Amino acid sequence: MNTRRDFLQKITASFFALPFLTRQGLEDINDHNNEPYDGPLLRVAIMGLGSYGTRVAEAMQACTKAKLAGVISGTPSKITAWQAKYNIPDKNCYNYENFDNIRDNPDIDAVYIITPNALHKEEAIRVAKAGKHVISEKPMALNAKEGQEMIAACKKANVKLLVGYRMHFEPKTLEIVRMRKEGELGKILFFQGLSGFRIGDPNQWRLNKELAGGGSLMDIGIYSINGSRYMVGEEPVWVTAQETKTDRIKFKEGVDETIQFQLGFPGGAVASCLSTYNMNGLDRFYLNAENGFAEMQPATGYGPIKGRTNKGELNYPHVTHQTVQMDEMSAILLEGKQPPLPVDGEEALKDLKIIDAIYEAVKSGKKVKLNL
């Protein structure tokens, strides 16, 4: 039986349920760390100790409702280093072959999967079968079919499935959503989402079709896909898309370099978005409406996010996104809290359906209908 590490080496070698958003809801998130906390603590094992896993671990040191309790990795040296740095006991350390044993570990409540996209489904199903809550990085899976299998497995195991939509807890983002929900902007007419950067190492897994499931769209483009939905406040009903590829050596077949896509919404609004691995400095959202506008630039980076509307600058203080995300996810999993924007598997499945449709539109050159 091949191990996960063998698989990686082989490959390398060759709206939705949105509750009414109030100012109090924004303040609860913005001030999440100001009040002394004496409630349940979410004990999390991180699976995948790479750069983003490290970022999450560092951010969790400031959490009040969540704690880094365990690690899952195929690299023993990383496990040893994390144990020393974060005081993680041997009994909470696992590799990719034995992590099913977390079912017998009462000190771990949830596993945060931060591995290549192609591994999410299998790993999430194993975690669910072990009786632990699943937190998956986005995209949740390679496609909607896999996403649905993950949702079904978690429901069968009676565990919850959340996805790392950190922007769903970001105060400036939520203020614009509040303004839109409360009618301050009027009828929404247009959204633009620009998401891109020039990717480096050509041998990394993000440029490997079998591990990533695609290219820029599966990584950075999902921010504009998801952002269009919560900014407009409706689910799109059609999509068109065009792909541009200038470097066919770096961006091989099935690995998109740049995709422009357009979304149509039932209320008449349209979105024009771009996802790219070959242009730097693209991180901008713009929302136009009858009575105003909202702009964010940077819109989805690690921060600080900058935003303004027709009423002026948005001046919420910056808090590390992953810190807020993990504390809020603790409240969702342990206290039944309803977030202002959903972060569950059903939310992620909608993005996967749109991604599937975008790739279909690129191939066919035709408008593809959506039914989310």
For 115, which DSSP code? S
| 3-class state of residue 112 by DSSP | strand
Q: What per-residue string of b and e applies to 183-196 under the rule 16 or more CB within 10 Å gives b?
A: ebbeebbebbbbbb
Query: Of the candidates 340, 338, 326, which has an alpha carbon nearest to the alpha carbon of residue 41?
Result: 326
Does residue 91 carry a catalytic annotation?
A: no
The pLDDT tens digits for 80-93 are 999 999 999 999 99
CB 216 within 8 A of CB 277: yes
The pLDDT tens digits for 249-292 are 999 999 999 999 999 999 999 999 999 999 999 999 999 999 99
Does residue 138 carry a catalytic annotation?
A: yes
C-alpha to C-alpha distance for 268 and 252, rounded to whole angstroms: 37
CATH H-level superfamily of 167-317+345-369? Dihydrodipicolinate Reductase; domain 2 (3.30.360.10)
Task: Please tell me the predicted confidence (pLDDT) of residue 32.
Answer: 53
Query: Of the candidates 223, 214, 289, 218, which has an alpha carbon nearest to the alpha carbon of residue 253?
Result: 214
| 3-class state of residue 289 by DSSP | strand
Architecture of domain 4-166: 3-Layer(aba) Sandwich (3.40)
Asked if pLDDT for residue 38 goes beyond 50, the answer is yes
CA angle in degrees (0–180, nearest 5) for 64-68-73: 160
Catalytic residue among 94, 112, 165, 223: 223
Q: What's the one-letter identity of residue 273? A: C
Q: Where are the domains of the chain?
A: 4-166, 167-317+345-369
C-alpha to C-alpha distance for 215 and 267, rounded to whole angstroms: 31
CA angle in degrees (0–180, nearest 5) for 42-149-96: 55
Distances (CA, A) of 155 to 110, 126, 162, 167, 289: 15, 13, 12, 25, 39
Those residues with Cβ within 8 angstroms of residue 114's Cβ, 6 or more apart along the chain or in another chain: 46, 47, 48, 50, 52, 53, 56, 137, 164
| Joined tokens for residue 125 | 């199903």
Asked if pLDDT for residue 19 goes beyond 50, the answer is no
The pLDDT tens digits for 211-261 are 999 999 999 999 999 999 999 999 999 999 999 999 999 999 999 999 999
Catalytic residue among 65, 121, 138, 350: 138
The pLDDT tens digits for 180-215 are 999 999 999 999 999 999 999 999 999 999 999 999
